[in-house]
Structure 1
Amino acid sequence: MSSYLYRLARFSYRRRVLVLVLWLVAAIAAVTIAQISGGKTDDDFTIPGTEAQRASDVLSTKLPAFSGGQSTIVFAAKDGARVTAAQGEIRTAMAKLSSVPQVSKSVDPFTGHLVSKDGRIALGQVQWSAKPADVKDAGLDAVNDAMKPVRAAGVQVEYNGSVYPGWRFEISETPELVGLVIAFAILMITFGTFAAAGMPIISAIIGVVTTLMGVTAVASVVTIASASTTVALMLGLSCGIDYGLFILSRHRANLLRGVPPEESVPLAMGTAGSSVVFAALTVIIALCGLTVVGIPFLTIMGLSAAAAVAVALLIALTLLPALLGFAGHRVARFSRLPKFGAHAERVARRTAADPDSTAGAAWSRFVVRHRVLVTVAGVVLLGVLAIPAASIRLGLPSGASQPTDNTQRKAYDLTTEGFGAGFNGALLVVAQDVSSPSDTARIAAALGRQAGVAQVTPLAGQNGVSLIRVVPKSGPNDSATQDLVHTLRDDRATLASGTGAHILVGGTTASNIDVSAKLSGALPVFLIAVVGLAFVLLTFAFRTVLVPLKSIVGFLLSMAAALGAQVAVFQWGWGKNLLGITPTETISFLPIIMLAIIFGLSSDYEVFVVSRIKEEFTRHGDARAAVQRGTSLSARVVTAAALIMFSIFVAFTFTDNPTIRAIGFSFAVGVFLDAFVVRLTLVPAVMAIAGGRIWYHPKWFGRWVPDPDIEGQRLEERLADGHFGAEAAQAARTARTPVGAEAAGR
């Protein structure tokens, strides 16, 4: 592999104008197609095969007017007044909605008898004929316009439901801009030059633009959740910068030794590039593994993020060498800014003179010397952080998890105040094969006698199908509501006794319960599939079984600790005032997404660190010395890469969307713990304990499994033999001497 990467980088360097033009054309084409297609994301979480989805399908066929989204309009009188004072304005406004395109029915609070006992709060209902994702913005704007006279009358108007004005989540550019600024600062500290700091960021931005525009174009024909583009953005930026950082570090080290740029770029790619390829493939495998759980929106999310990582990899292998060709020696010239250039130059010069004087070298010596104590302490720390994960409760976001200034949150709180939490998450019971209205009435009466039911209202009947709204006494994410859904489904025969009807329990709340249940059941299958595939890949890369096993155990520790932190903060509410969050259930798809992302990224750092250790071990065969030197040489670049990824994820915790905020926080904690506690601490400690045994593999493995040459040993041999020319051979010799200068780029 290293030889192929060497040739690819040499081609990209020499044909840099062509490579740059091709990538710019690809980015422009993606933007153009996305604009023409008009694709938009949506957050309609449904899963084929669930009972809630079957209920929705029946409505689409038999009662199409009631198969779409629902909006609840909450009217609240101010200063102790009563909504009846504006009854005329409210009735007129709700009547106007009947003529709005895609609205099949609207019911004002007074006709629907949905006025609170104190007369201060009332609920209007709007039924759409289209699915939430298909409701046009013009229709939602018409709802807002119709409510203007009501607001003018001094009545507060808020919205809730599966679709409502302002429900679509627009991705803010602020988090990624903040992340990029922090990334640039970290790269300036690391490299001390504008050219080197800007190169990985520029290439990552081109890759992210290309990917996101492609995903947007696909969203015109496939349902894609807004979280999919956010996860793709997070990984595209972080992985793109990290891969560029790792290759650029090798390249700049070569330049500081005196290797010409034209030889340094392919040489850096032939060594560091192999690690980047295996790291990216592991992430891609983990993300594509989401397809095995059979959940459409997770499949799309995984494939979108995998596409972002794949593009980041291609960018690092082709566009980055081209950009380095344009930069020439400038990536090795230190800036005159004292905070950045002077520091980086001082570190580089000191490292060149004495490679064992760096902070990374001091840390690796400490870890190797106290390897047993460090291993125990690290495992105990992660174990303690993982304790809250045992109390995890899964659910999907409701209005209660939104910021207090969000209309959905205001509507949720007002509805709970006036009617009870259950009115925020009504169930829709679909009765099939109903022969008469009396059968519907009998079923509704049976439903009303169930414990935990606050109100039952028949909504419609047609084509042998009746639709009945059941309002629980508990909120949409309460365990009592989940128990009620299961009870209704278990007792469906009794509820429909004497009518010959068959009951399905659906609606948004039931759908969310089904989604959470299926996600929980899919988690073990996903874990086995992804860990198994990654185990095979890492075994092939390092040609040993013990390294992949160690990597997987370390990942499970960091994953459990990150999940524990997520539960403590977002579910228990630790630090809620500091972070401005509302404690709620853990998002049901977060654990499985965390498994994919953190496992992939942990494998990134595993490959970066262990490949350097293996490179050192291949040269001299001293396992413990290889651990110490390999860790010290990779510590600076892994630290920079992890801090960049951590910063990008943290930036997303400052968004208003609770889903994105929880994802950003969980990813940030997971990356931080995995990089610094596991990969730079536990991994070298365990490898130092194992010694040379860590590299053991059976003889048959060495004979039958091809060696990918991840450390670039065979490439160096071919270079030394003059296979790529005399200049390349001389460059390879220069890159290996003096030994200490290699760390100058780190």
Structure 2
Amino acid sequence: MATYLYRLGRFAYRRKGIVLAFWLAMLVLAGGAAAAFSGPTKDSFSIPGTPAQEAQDLMAERFPNAAADPFNSLSARYLFVAPEGSTLDDPALGAAIDETLAAIRGIDQVSESATSTDGPGALASPSAAFDGMVDQLIEQGTPEDQARANASAVGPLSSDRTVGYVDVPIDGDFGDITEQLREDLNDAADPARDAGLDVLVAGSVMQDVEPPGGAAELVGLAIAAVVLVITFGSLIAAGMPLIAAIIGVGIGVSLITAATGFMDLSPTVSTLAVMIGLAVAIDYSLFILSRYRAELATASSREEAAGRAVGTAGSAVVFAGLTVIIALLALRVVNIPFLTDMGRAAALTVLIAVLIAISMLPAVLGLMRSAIFKGRIPGVRQVDPEHPDRLTNGRRWANVVTRIPAVTLIGAIVVLGVLAIPAAKLELALPTPATEPPGTVTRDAFDVTEDAFGPGRNAQLIVVADGQSVAEDERADAFAELADRMYTYGDVSNAQIVGMNEAGDTAQILVPPATGPIDEATTDLVNTIRGAEEQVQTETGLNYGVAGQTAIEIDVSDRLQDALIPYLVVVVGLAFILLMLVFRSILVPLTATLGFLLSVAATFGATVAIFQLDWLGLATNPQPIVSFLPIFLIGVVFGLAMDYQVFLVSRMREAYVHGESAKDAIISGFSHGARVVTAAAVIMMSVFAAFIAEDMAFIKVMGFALAAAIVFDAFLVRMVLIPSVMALLGDKAWWLPKWLDRILPNVDVEGEKLAQHIEARELAATEREPAVTR
């Protein structure tokens, strides 16, 4: 591989116009595709094949006019809170609410069913809607006390009649949401506000679906620029990795944006792609540019130096990128669509970063030629991080590690182990209004609803009972019996049949738990209800499922936890094989993966301590960790951890193959690569840490977790634990059974075949020179 990349590097340097024109065209075409095909982004946590999704699909089939996707339907909720000492029944307040409802009916995108003043979907004040429900239940033969209890469990008016809400269905999709629509919906509440009511306008239509970012990327790039300037001592050289990263991420994000016109993608997809794409793109270009500067000292020309840099450091970049891509694409194993999309999008940006580093960067070097390391900064010494004769900090540290490897190994394990302790208290939950930051409209509406109606109003479950196998004259009794059984399965405040389909063979039973959507008791209730289905089917003939947003969120979290071990097996297994190809060793990949597990455990511990347990008081909204963060974090961190493993240890492997002892190879590898690996780790950590300032909880926690993982893995695992283990193993670190050595293809990451190729070419050129006559 090194030989092929060497030729690619020389070609790109020599044919810089063609290569740069190609990447410029790619950027323009990708941007044009984004402008032409972009569609709306949306959050969707549904998972095909889960019990909740099957129940939701059954409800959509049997109740086509009533069932709605709890995640993807558009609506606005107006929450009215009466001033102190008043109720919503006060005539003046009631008139103000009616005036607000009239204004809502005049908004174009409000569903037609809600624009009439009477009918099934007509908007009504909370008081009128509640009283109408009570009257209807009494007319159906329900005793008045039970009718009021049933209406209170599902109705839009609190028991003290001081808080009520109106749900307004909105036509269209998320792409149809405009700021003008939000302003119109919010302005419609002005009559109620003017009358003294506190009105919160929430719901899916009011949520910002645009991806976060912008400022975070700029902060990350600014810090990366400072580190690059210190590393190279040159403004021009420092700008090269930044330009490569911006172009690569620009192409990747543009393609992702274009894809939103053909598939449903979450707004976090592009944010995570930017986060990971920026970090790896800067690092990959940094490694090749650093190697290029080192090769200038011995190469016969700048073109030759570019070829050698791409052939050696570029080989490490390709395999490091492959480990990241494998880890991201393997998220498909989890079988959760939105997580698969995140992995694919991030993998795309990593692939583009690799291709740009090995092709566009040498073309830029050909364009800049001798000017690449000019523009020196006064006061910043231009240091070659790979100078073989300089006593660098990397060489000093390598001398310490190889002298007392047992001490440094134990020290690294103890530190990582202590950091991992809080991980034992890890709690997981999907993002919901309950996890939104206090002070946001969504969170305030959630809290007001919980205080006025009880925790269960935000966590209502819908049991969809299928009675097709029950005799027609027995179905009503079977449905009623099933509703009564709900009280025996857990703490249920009320259970009632709220809907029957036209055929009379399917019923919807509303089951509001006494606890909130992220409480463990609610999860236990769902599991208990599902566990009783076999007995219910035997005794009554009914089959049923539990639907609703809360049930779907529970299933998503369960699927994520169940998929964690299979995912680890796939990712670690594939990467282990890849690392065996790179290092021609069994023990080096083994220690690399074990070290990764330690760094992940420490990352989980630190994340739980800060964002869940609020140990340092830094979290403004301590909450359970987002349930899909652990598996996504494992995938990303594993790929990035192997980046540093490949970059650092491949230099050790290169020195060992070229004749140095195992101990000297460790020292040589550190002296050549530690400074640039440190710079790369600081850059990547800074890019990730900048996203901590974002408002979106998942992005904030992910940014912290990735930054912490880089610190733990790059500085404790790759620079302390791994060289300590390798020093203890000595030559055994590079042991590979002969039979396996024959089977595995030799990819020549260390450039041994490349060196032979260059030597043979130079020898042939010398022999072709005419003899000098005297």
Q: Matched residues in 2 for 1:28 and 1:387: separation?
A: 49
Q: Does 1:73 align with 2:78?
A: yes
The equivalent of 2:396 in structure 1 is: 362
Among 413, 416, 426, which residue is 1:379 paired with? Answer: 413
State the match for 2:750 in structure 1. 711
Distance 2:728 2:698 in 1: 41
Supply the RMSD in Å over aligned alpha carbons. Answer: 2.7
1:89 equivalent in structure 2: 96
Q: Is residue 618 of structure 1 aligned with residue 635 of structure 2?
A: no
Map of 1:101 onto structure 2 = 111
Alpha-carbon distance in 2 for matches of 1:308, 1:362: 36
Given residue 80 of structure 2, which amino acid in structure 1 is its aligned partner?
F
Which residue matches 2:135? none
CA distance in 1, matches of 2:304, 2:694: 45
Q: Is the 8 A contact 1:13 1:322 kept in 2?
A: yes
What is aligned with 1:478?
Answer: 519
Judged with a 3 Å threshold, the aligned counterparts in structure 2 of structure 1 residues 275 and 158 are, in CA distance, closer, same or farther, namely same
CA distance in 2, matches of 1:251, 1:705: 29
Q: CA deviation at 1:502?
A: 2.8
In structure 2, how many angstroms separate the alpha carbons of the residues matched to 1:251 and 1:657?
A: 40
Kindly state the Cα deviation for residue 610 of structure 1 after the two structures are TM-superposed. 0.5
Structure 1 regions of 5+ residues with no counterpart?
731-746
The counterpart of 2:156, out of the listed 104, 114, 124, is 114
Q: % of aligned pairs identical?
A: 40
CA gap 1:279/1:618 in 2 versus in 1, 3 angstroms? same
SS in structure 2 opposite 1:207?
helix
Aligned to 1:738: none
Matched, 1:263 2:304: yes
**Cα 1:256–1:75 shift into 2, 3 Å:** farther
- Distance in 2 (CA, whole Å) between partners of 1:596 and 1:493 is 38
Deviation at 1:703, TM superposition (A): 2.9
- In 2, the alpha carbon distance for the partners of 1:40 and 1:476 equals 28
Letter in 1 for 2:713: D
Deviation at 1:31, TM superposition (A): 1.7
- Kindly provide the CA deviation profile for residues 247-301 of structure 1, in whole angstroms up to 9, marking residues without a partner as x: 0001122335675322211111111111001100011111111112222111111
Contact 1:75 1:122 in 2 (8 A): yes
Give CA-to-partner distance per residue, 1:127-174, whole Å, 9 cap, x none: 5687x757755876654343333333333333555x241242432311
Q: Measure, in 2, the Cα distance between the counterparts of 1:505 and 1:462.
A: 17
Is 1:658 the equivalent of 2:663? Answer: no
Count of residues paired in the alignment: 718
Q: Does 1:394 align with 2:411?
A: no
SS of alignment partner, residue 126 of structure 2: coil
Q: Matches of 1:232 and 1:251 in 2, distance apart?
A: 28
Of 45-54 and 90-99, more deviation after overlay is shown by 90-99
Alignment-derived partner of residue 672 in structure 2: 633
Question: Hey, what does 1:155 align to over in structure 2?
Answer: 197
Corresponding residue of 1:19: 19
Equivalence for 1:689? 728
> Could you list the runs of 5+ residues in structure 2 that have no partner in the other structure?
115-120, 131-154, 770-774
* Partner residue in 1 for 2:3: 3
Structure 1 residue 424 displacement after superposition: 1.7
**Contact conserved, 2:5 with 2:307, CA < 8 A, in 1?**
yes
TM-score normalised according to structure 1 size: 0.90
- The aligned residue for residue 64 of structure 1 is 64
Distance in structure 2 (CA, Å) of the matches to 1:166 and 1:597: 28
Residues 497-556 of structure 1 deviation map (CA, whole Å, 9 limit, x = unaligned): 987543211111110000000111111110001100000110011111111101000000
Instruction: Give the corresponding residue for 1:44.
Output: 44
Among 536, 546, 552, which residue is 1:511 paired with? 552
Find out whether 1:214 has 2:255 as its counterpart.
Answer: yes
Q: 1:32 to 1:631 in 2, by over 3 A?
A: same
Name whichever of 380-389 and 524-533 sits farther off: 380-389
Cα distance in 1 between the residues matched to 2:324 and 2:763? 32
Partner of residue 288, structure 2: 247
Q: Please give the secondary structure, in 1, of the residue aligned with 2:494.
A: strand
Amino acid in the other structure paired with 1:553? L
- Report Cα offsets for 1:27-73 as digits up to 9, x if no partner: 22222222222322221111100111112212322223322336543
| Matching residue's letter, 1:176 | E
Determine if contact 1:446/1:495 at 8 Å carries over to the other structure. no
* 1:697 positional shift: 1.1
Going from structure 1 to structure 2, the CA distance change for 1:353 and 1:426 (only over 3 Å counts) comes to closer
Q: Which deviates further from its counterpart, 419-428 or 547-556? A: 419-428
Q: Looking at CA atoms only, which structure, 1 or 2, has the larger radius of gyration?
A: 2
- Aligned mate of 2:607, from 547, 563, 566: 566
Q: C-alpha separation between the residues in 2 aligned to 1:403 and 1:724? A: 69
CA contact (8 A) 1:283 1:601 kept: yes
Q: Is the 8 A contact 1:41 1:224 kept in 2?
A: yes
SS at structure 1 position matched to 2:658: helix
Name the stretch that deviates more: 616-625 or 107-116. 107-116
Whether the aligned pair in 1 keeps the contact of 2:156 and 2:165 (CA below 8 Å) is yes
- The answer to whether the 8 Å contact 2:110/2:171 transfers is no
Q: Could you say if the C-alpha distance between residues 469 and 42 of structure 1 is closer, same or farther in structure 2, counting changes exceeding 3 Å?
A: same
| Deviation (angstroms), 1:458 | 4.3
Structure 1 residue aligned with 2:315: 274
Judged with a 3 Å threshold, the aligned counterparts in structure 2 of structure 1 residues 206 and 499 are, in CA distance, closer, same or farther, namely same
Query: Quick one: structure 1 residues 100 and 139, their matched pair in 2 at CA, closer, same or farther if it must change by over 3 Å?
Result: farther
2: CA distance between counterparts of 1:298 and 1:8? 35
Deviations 1:101-132 (A, max 9, x none): 387745642214433344432233345687x7
Q: Which moved more, 1:289-298 or 1:431-440?
A: 431-440
Quote the Cα distance in structure 1 between the aligned partners of 2:337 and 2:520. 25
SS at match of 2:593: helix
Give distance in 1, aligned partners of 2:102 and 2:83. Answer: 23
Q: Relative to structure 1, is the Cα distance of residues 698 and 192 closer, same or farther in structure 2, using a 3 angstrom cutoff?
A: same
Q: Are the aligned partners of 1:447 and 1:495 in contact in 2 as well (CA < 8 Å)?
A: no
Alignment of 1:174-573 (within 5 A): 174-255=215-296, 260-333=301-374, 335-338=376-379, 342-343=380-381, 345=382, 347-348=383-384, 354-356=389-391, 358-433=392-467, 443-447=482-486, 450-456=489-495, 458-463=497-502, 464-492=505-533, 500-573=541-614
- Given that residues 100 and 142 in structure 1 are in contact (C-alpha distance below 8 angstroms), is that contact kept between their aligned partners in structure 2? no
Taking the aligned partners of 1:479 and 1:95, their CA distance within structure 2 comes to: 42
TM-score (ref. length: structure 2): 0.87
CA contact (8 A) 2:430 2:553 kept: yes
User: Which residue does the alignment assign to 1:737?
Assistant: none
The separation in 1 between residues aligned to 2:580 and 2:555, in whole angstroms, is: 37
Matched residue type, 2:312 = T
Q: Indicate the larger mover: 409-418 or 533-542.
A: 409-418
Instruction: Give the 3-state SS of the residue equivalent to 2:464 in structure 1.
Output: strand
8 Å contact 1:160–1:412 — kept in the other structure?
no
**Distance in structure 2 (CA, Å) of the matches to 1:153 and 1:500:** 54
Greater shift in the superposed pair: 80-89 or 60-69: 80-89
Moved more, 375-384 or 619-628: 619-628
1:564-600 Cα shifts (integer Å, max 9, x gaps): 1111112212234x343x1111211111101100000
Q: Structure 1 residues 167 and 426 mapped into 2: Cα distance closer, same or farther (>3 Å)?
A: farther
| Higher mean C-alpha displacement, 664-673 vs 106-115 | 106-115
Distance 1:725 1:270, change over 3 A: farther
The answer on whether the counterparts of 1:569 and 1:575 sit within 8 Å (CA) in structure 2 is yes
Q: Structure 2 vs 1, CA of residues 199 and 134 (structure 1 numbering), >3 Å: closer, same or farther?
A: closer
Q: Distance in 1 between matches of 2:302 and 2:615?
A: 52
Equivalent pair of 1:103/1:128 in contact (CA under 8 Å): no
Of 403-412 and 75-84, deviating more is 75-84
Residue aligned with 2:509, SS: strand
